[in-house]
Chains A and B, each alone.
Chain A
């Protein structure tokens, strides 16, 4: 950037604003001369304060930024604005107005308190429009980096120390000035992005091949299952046809075997059922008999005893007695009484019955016997027993017997039917029919099996489209990622190329710069001031400056005398500036103070040549801007000013006047 003008107001010794134009172009040097304490150092501090809010060249003891005279002339509580305004031109030719200001309030005769920290604003005029920069600090950092200030604004004192600063001072300066730092950053970013893309490349979808294989398997299974389903359907049709044919074959035998067999089976089932019914009824009948045994017996006995009661009238009945004896014997053998109760051998009842039996047997010839009393007792007993049983027992027993007879009749009918059916079957070719039936059964089994398999196949076929669709979507996504992977790979390789190329560029340019610097410094130093025993100035790759003597010895940059050392520093700075990627004004405050007249004359004569095209602002003592120095530099001077401090020390102001020839 070119500095076009500056206007300082109420800043330190500068009170009244007055624009100072700086030279540029063919006559690129601006001279600002002034005696001690005229305001030269404040002049360069005004530049750094405006640009960076720093005052690195400020003398100790001068704390107050606000001009004392301005404070003095103001009223208490009046606001006083300290302001430095610099007009620059950027590399594209646009005017850039840079303003820093700070407000103070008068508190006493010569005292003022700052109201706030300084404010900073930048306006860029482009195509006739002035635009305020949103972030002026960033603008300055981009176009005139703070770190470069030490390489373009110097005092004579700083100049002396320039080549003796800390180890990396020059190297850092070159790095930034030449913009090698930009290239270094590009290399660094290419490396980081290469790593990033490598990472992305590695993480993207290693599963694609597997997914494709699985999809292929599913698709193949789908086709296979569909084919199997169709084949099974055909097989089922074919088996069904075979079954139909076999049935036709069966029918050709003239009788429906199945029907006959079904009738046989039904008849057998009916008979089984009837047999069960008969058994049930028999059990029921037996149960009735069993439950009513005493009654039955008593009833029979009663009939006989009643008969017997009238024995004489039945004396001819020979059937009666043996029958009674037989029954009594059976009872006695089972230890049962005629009343149904259990009787033990030897008991009274037992003996009574035994007596009765004996009596009956002894009188079986029809003779009258005297047992009326016993008979009366037995009659009474029998009647008692009978009276305790249900009266409908007889009809129940008769019904049961009738039912059994009916079932037996049914069974007989079924038996006849079964024989008839079996007879019909005997007339058919049973072996052949069984074979056909076996085939039919086999085909039926196969059809059932195929239908079951088809059920599973249909389920599968219903599921395949969704499954395949899911896989296709996943593969599509994976293929998208795969293309992304290729893209990442491409970008990774691209960044790798950039990384390597920028590194090579950086290395080659570094070598070129220190070689160029060495050559330029040697050339200008040789021209401006040269000792006969110096061979060349060496700038190594770390930008350390040494001098090679004619005898081959290498001496440090501090070897020459103070004046000569300053010339070396000046030539180095000039060379550095000429190689710089930035367009920067070189601002030097009293750089020739330590030089003798010859050196000053040579600096004035040759330095502008090496600074051709570069803007230079030289602040010199009025005593220095005389003689050969002035004569030699004059052709390159575009603007010249004189600073003069007037008023009381500390309470006055610097007057800026254009210096006439």
Chain B
């Protein structure tokens, strides 16, 4: 997963050890990368409900 090297390895390790479906684990990793990439990005937090629009695609991808 592109950008995963930027995320704290302890957190990744913790996610990998979760007793959860793979799609949940993968979602968490990709969401962390999204948060890392767009940290404090005004575009992603400017909507009225403060939803990051980039999540829609990630949810679509991993929600089975």
Q: Of A178, A179, A501, which contacts B32 at CB under 8 A?
A: A179
Interface flags, A179-200, vs B, CB<8A=1, else 0: 1011101101110110110000
Determine the residue in chain B with the shortest Cβ distance to A90: B6
Interface flags, B34-64, vs A, CB<8A=1, else 0: 0111111100000001111001100100110
Smallest beta-carbon distance B19→chain A, Å: 10
Give the chain A neighbours of B62 by CB distance below 8 A. 494
Check A498/B27 contact, CB under 8 A, given A143-B6, A509-B11: yes
Check A193–B59 contact: CB distance below 8 A. Answer: yes
Check A142–B39 contact: CB distance below 8 A. Answer: yes
The complex places the Cα of A491 from the Cα of B28 at a distance, in Å, of 14
Determine the residue in chain B with the shortest Cβ distance to A195: B49
Smallest beta-carbon distance A432→chain B, Å: 86
Check B6–A192 contact: CB distance below 8 A. Answer: no
Give the chain A neighbours of B55 by CB distance below 8 A. 189, 193
Give the chain B neighbours of A196 by CB distance below 8 A. 49, 51
Check A183/B32 contact, CB under 8 A, given A141-B39, A501-B24: yes
Give the chain A neighbours of B8 by CB distance below 8 A. 178-179, 580-582
Check B14–A498 contact: CB distance below 8 A. Answer: no
Give the chain A neighbours of B32 by CB distance below 8 A. 179, 182-183, 186
Q: Is the interface of B mostly helix, strand, loop or mixed?
A: helix
Check B24–A497 contact: CB distance below 8 A. Answer: yes
Determine the residue in chain B with the shortest Cβ distance to A579: B10
Interface flags, A123-142, vs B, CB<8A=1, else 0: 00000000000000010011
Determine the residue in chain B with the shortest Cβ distance to A506: B11
Give the chain B neighbours of A259 by CB distance below 8 A. none
Q: Is the interface of A mostly helix, strand, loop or mixed?
A: helix
Interface flags, B13-27, vs A, CB<8A=1, else 0: 011001010001001
Give the chain B neighbours of A181 by CB distance below 8 A. 35, 39
Check A189–B11 contact: CB distance below 8 A. Answer: no
Give the chain B neighbours of A179 by CB distance below 8 A. 7-8, 11, 32, 36
Check B14–A509 contact: CB distance below 8 A. Answer: yes
The complex places the Cα of A509 from the Cα of B27 at a distance, in Å, of 18
Smallest beta-carbon distance B45→chain A, Å: 9
Check B50–A508 contact: CB distance below 8 A. Answer: no
Give the chain A neighbours of B31 by CB distance below 8 A. 186, 189-190, 498
> Is A91 located at the chain interface by the 8 A CB criterion?
yes
Give the chain B neighbours of A178 by CB distance below 8 A. 8, 10-11
Give the chain B neighbours of A495 by CB distance below 8 A. 59
Q: Of A186, A193, A509, which contacts B35 at CB under 8 A?
A: A186
Give the chain A neighbours of B36 by CB distance below 8 A. 142, 179, 182
Check A505/B15 contact, CB under 8 A, given A179-B36, A189-B51: yes
Number of interface residues of A (CB under 8 A): 37
Smallest beta-carbon distance B5→chain A, Å: 5
Give the chain B neighbours of A490 by CB distance below 8 A. 63
Count contacts between A and B, CB distance < 8 Å. 91
The complex places the Cα of A264 from the Cα of B36 at a distance, in Å, of 110
Give the chain A neighbours of B52 by CB distance below 8 A. 189
> Is A502 located at the chain interface by the 8 A CB criterion?
yes
Determine the residue in chain B with the shortest Cβ distance to A91: B5
Q: Of B6, B14, B27, which contacts A508 at CB under 8 A?
A: B14
The complex places the Cα of A143 from the Cα of B8 at a distance, in Å, of 12
Give the chain B neighbours of A498 by CB distance below 8 A. 24, 27-28, 31
Smallest beta-carbon distance B59→chain A, Å: 6
Smallest beta-carbon distance B25→chain A, Å: 9
> Is A145 located at the chain interface by the 8 A CB criterion?
yes
Check B20–A501 contact: CB distance below 8 A. Answer: yes
Q: Of B11, B20, B37, B41, which contacts A581 at CB under 8 A?
A: B11
The complex places the Cα of A187 from the Cα of B60 at a distance, in Å, of 17
The complex places the Cα of A605 from the Cα of B10 at a distance, in Å, of 28
Give the chain B neighbours of A193 by CB distance below 8 A. 51, 55-56, 59
Smallest beta-carbon distance B36→chain A, Å: 6
Interface flags, A505-534, vs B, CB<8A=1, else 0: 100110010000000000000000000000
Give the chain B neighbours of A142 by CB distance below 8 A. 36-39
The complex places the Cα of A202 from the Cα of B42 at a distance, in Å, of 30
Check B14–A505 contact: CB distance below 8 A. Answer: yes
> Is A92 located at the chain interface by the 8 A CB criterion?
yes
Give the chain A neighbours of B18 by CB distance below 8 A. 501, 505
Q: Of A91, A188, A195, which contacts B6 at CB under 8 A?
A: A91
Interface flags, A586-616, vs B, CB<8A=1, else 0: 0000000000000000000000000000000
The complex places the Cα of A125 from the Cα of B17 at a distance, in Å, of 35
Q: Specify which of B7, B31, B36, B59 lies most central, judged by the most chain A CB atoms within 10 Å of its CB.
A: B59
Smallest beta-carbon distance A397→chain B, Å: 109
Smallest beta-carbon distance A604→chain B, Å: 29
Q: Specify which of A181, A183, A189 lies most central, judged by the most chain B CB atoms within 10 Å of its CB.
A: A189
Q: Of A192, A512, A581, which contacts B7 at CB under 8 A?
A: A581
List 29 interface pairs A-B (beta carbons < 8 Å), by A numbering: A91-B5, A91-B6, A142-B38, A178-B8, A179-B7, A179-B8, A179-B32, A179-B36, A181-B35, A182-B7, A182-B36, A183-B11, A188-B50, A189-B51, A189-B52, A192-B50, A196-B49, A494-B59, A494-B62, A497-B24, A498-B28, A501-B20, A505-B11, A505-B28, A509-B10, A509-B11, A509-B14, A581-B7, A581-B9
Q: A182-B7, A498-B31, A509-B11 are in contact. List 13 more A-B contacts (CB 8 A).
A: A92-B5, A138-B41, A142-B36, A178-B10, A181-B39, A182-B32, A186-B35, A189-B35, A491-B59, A495-B59, A501-B20, A501-B28, A581-B11
**Which A residues fall within an 8 A CB radius of B?**
91-92, 138, 141-143, 145, 178-179, 181-183, 185-186, 188-190, 192-193, 195-196, 490-491, 494-495, 497-498, 501-502, 505, 508-509, 512, 579-582
**Which B residues fall within an 8 A CB radius of A?**
5-11, 14-15, 18, 20, 24, 27-28, 31-32, 35-41, 49-52, 55-56, 59, 62-63
